Each structure stands twice: as C-alpha cells, then as structure tokens.
Amino acid sequence: MTALAMNAERLLARLHTLGQIGRDKAGRLVRLAASDADKAGRDQLAAWMAEAGLELAVDAIGNMFGLWREATGPEAAPVLLGSHIDSVIDAGIYDGCYGVLAGLEVIQTLKEAGLRPARPLAVAAFTNEEGVRYAPDMLGSLTFAGGLDLAVALASVGTDGSVLGAELSRIGYAGPHAPGFLRPHAYVELHIEQGPVLEREGWQLGAVENLQGISWQRVTIDGVANHAGTTPMAMRRDAGIAAARAMLFLRGLATASNHPTVATVGSLALEPNAINVIPARATFTVDLRDPDEARLQQAEAAFAAHLAALAAEEGVSISTERLARFQPVLFDAGIVASIEAAAAARGLRCRRITSGAGHDAQMLARICPAAMIFVPSAEGISHNPREHTPPRDLAAGANVLLEVARGLAGC
C-alpha cells in the first residue's frame, strides 16, 4: 500500500474551529450533551461531513454517523471510526473531538485519493460521552451497543432537570435511525491519553489494550441544620463533616493500596450552604476506578461499609444512588497488533497501555472488535483548558489511524 498521509492542516484547523464552538461568557469551553452549544458543534460537524461527501445518519439517541458506502454494497458492515464532541465544563479542545475529526479526515483522505475500499467506512460522534449533564457517561454508545434501553436513555434526567429525549428533539438531533442500525465490522478510536505515561516515558503513541472499570454513585447525607454558634460540637449532626470524612476515606482507600485504584469526588453541594448554619444535607458524587474488577468490587464494598459506620457515628442518614457501573474491557488483540505495526512502519515509538478514562470504544467492544490509539497529553493534563498535544503527535496519531483503517477496510 502506498504511504498515504492525511491532510494535517485541515485536521488541525477543524480542531481549532470546533474548539471555539460552545464557549461561555467567561470563555470556557462548555459543550454539554444536547445543549445549544452541543447543537452548534454538531451542526459544524454535519457541515464538514457533507463537505467530505459523506451521508449523514442520526439515530434516536442523537449519535451522528458520516457514512461512505458508495464503494461497496450498503449491506457490508462498515469500519467505524469516531469518538465524541460533547465536553466537560471548562474543557480542552482535544478530548473526543480529535478522534471524530481524525476519523473524518481519514475517510476524506481515502476518498480524495480515489481509493476503493472493500467495505464501507463511517465516522461517529456519540452522544453524552462525558456524562456531565446526563448519567451514565458513554450513554450514546452504550445505547447504540444495546447496553441501555432507548426509552430509559431518552428519559435520562440531567443535572439541570432537563430530559435528554426532549433536549435532543429541541436541538434537532433526535434521529430516525434505531440505535444499532448499523453493525460495525470493527471500531477504532483515536484519543488523547489524558494521562502522564506516554509523555513521561517518551512514547509517541499508545496501543490501548484494555480499559479500567468505572463505578459512579451519588451520595446524599442528611443531618440536622443548627446554629453554628450555639450548638455544642457533641450535639451536632453535621452532614458536611460526615461528607468530609467520607472523602478522606476514599482518598485513603485509593492511596493505601499500591494498586492503580483511583477515587474522585468531583461534585459536592452543602445545604442550606450558609456560613452560620450547620449543614443539613451534603450531596456528592463518587468516581471509583480500577483495571481489576474484583478490586473495584472490594473498593465499593469497603466504601459502603464505611458509610454505614459513619451514619452511626455522626448521627446522620446516608443514601446512595448508582449512576454508572462498567466492568474493565479488553480490546481486540488483532487490532492492537495492527496499531503497533502501523506505528512501527512509520518509525513511531509505541507502547501498549491501559486506558484510565472511559471511552465509547468500551461500549463498541460489546458488539464488534474494537481498540484505541492514544497520543501523548502534555503534562498529562485533560478535562482542563490547558489540555494540549503537539501538532506533530496529532498528525502521527491520525496517520496511524489511517493505516489501521485501510487495513480493516481493505484499501
């Protein structure tokens, strides 16, 4: 096969254009699933897909697909590339968008080169991968893979009280296709690592062989509001203190083991949230992850036991609500090997790596062979406007995606 290269300039220009869509008044990138900002990003992506001559298909949970099927019969299972374009709050411009735009770039490059693949190719942008507005994360790809009932997914209530299905209709992305309307031959997702390993160890690429398990829950602690000045410490039923103890327990749990277990409390609210009132209620989220399923279950059980003891000691009541739970995933060894071979053919230093973050690929792996390609994240930073990957690495990743896609599509 000739050494084809994708159009790096076009890819980088689109990344920066999309990165400007969905900025709030403070200039932060906030393109939450099914919001007006998400609509603006989706509209821009749809325009680029049209420019590339792809057929746009949207399914009932808002997943967008740009299809190139003129090459073969429409019935042939496509090679699917992609990721997501929804973001977290105050996001970087690469998380998700890089994989979608690189997938689009790969297909556009193959079309422009006049190649005739043996099977169709498509690029997807899955709905609500981040899970910031609606739980669970990877909701769109999970529904597409048959892991979540469509009606349940559409009824998902957001942190702002909105309902996903109504929001998708409002922004014009409640599509006609049933989730799973196409069955991929294989799925490959290019993504920034979002961690420190590749940069710290001097690798240019990561061939992602597995992805860790994820456990999300919301914890509500109810104590008794009381006067901050008149209430003796021994008489308090302080929901805020109980929450603080739970957070410290989680950090101890994750750091005590020299395992890769990680624990995060990313969202915390106190009520009535007044300087001189002992908090009556504390609500916080727990994000627990581990590549080993048994250890993840042990961590969940240890935390549940801690909450029970905490309730008795602090005189509070504690309830939990599960928001997401995904087991660790092993990716397709054949595709992982082809990623390593494509990197080697281009003289790129590549190592096998575990994904600490959740990705749509973990859901696609339920229905087809799937794997991921990582490029380094500067200082290992992500979910932060300082997220950055040098253009050289972005181009290298996209060219390896091109090679792997060509191998899978037979062109």
> What is the four-CA torsion angle of 142, 144, 148, 154, rounded to 10 degrees?
110
Count of residues interacting with ligand HGY (CB under 6 A):
6
167 binds ligand HGY (CB under 6 A): no
CA atoms within 13 A on the CB side of 166: 7
38, 59, 86, 95: residue in contact with Mn ion (rule CB under 5 A):
95
Q: Where are the beta strands (DSSP E) in 273-358?
A: 277-278, 281-290, 317-326, 329-330, 350-355
Helices (H), 315-350: 333-345
Instruction: For residue 232, give every residue at least 6 positions away whose Cβ sits within 8 Å of its Cβ, in sequence order, or none.
Output: none
Single-letter code of the amino acid located at 125: A
Residue 96 binds which entry of ligand HGY, Mn ion, none, CB below 5-8 Å type-dependent: Mn ion
Distance CA(267)–CA(322), nearest Å, equals 15
Query: Which residue in 129, 189, 199, 290 binds ligand HGY (CB under 6 A)?
Result: 129
User: Cα–Cα distance between 404 and 99 in angstroms, integer?
Assistant: 14
Binding segment (CB under 5 A) for Mn ion, from list 87-95, 102-110, 262-270, 297-305: 87-95
Nearer to ligand HGY, 120 or 140 (CB): 140
- Does position 358 interact with ligand HGY (CB under 6 A)? The reply is yes
Q: What is the Cα 174 distance to its own chain's centre?
A: 20
In 3D space, the residue among 249, 222, 242, 240 whose CA is nearest the CA of residue 276 turns out to be: 240
Binder of residue 238, out of Mn ion, ligand HGY, none (CB less than 5 to 8 A by kind): none
Is residue 144 within 8 Å of 61, Cβ to Cβ? yes
- Look at residue 268 and give its three-state secondary structure: strand
Span of 9-17, 124-132, 200-208, 365-373 interacting with ligand HGY by CB under 6 A: 124-132
Q: Which is nearer to ligand HGY, 137 or 167 (CB)?
A: 137
- Told to check if 96 binds Mn ion by CB under 5 A, we report yes
Answer yes or no whether residue 314 interacts with ligand HGY by CB under 6 A.
no
Report the residue from 357, 375, 396, 398 that binds ligand HGY according to the rule CB under 6 A.
357
Judged by CB under 6 A, does residue 131 bind ligand HGY? yes
Which of 38, 86, 130, 290 forms a contact with ligand HGY (CB under 6 A)? 130
Q: Smallest gap, in angstroms, from Cβ of residue 224 to Mn ion? A: 38
Whole-number minimum distance, CB 39 to ligand HGY, in Å?
Answer: 20
Nearest Cα to Cα of residue 56 among 104, 119, 106? 104
Question: Which residues of the chain form contacts with Mn ion (CB under 5 A)?
Answer: 95-96
Question: Which residues of the chain form contacts with ligand HGY (CB under 6 A)?
Answer: 129-131, 137, 357-358
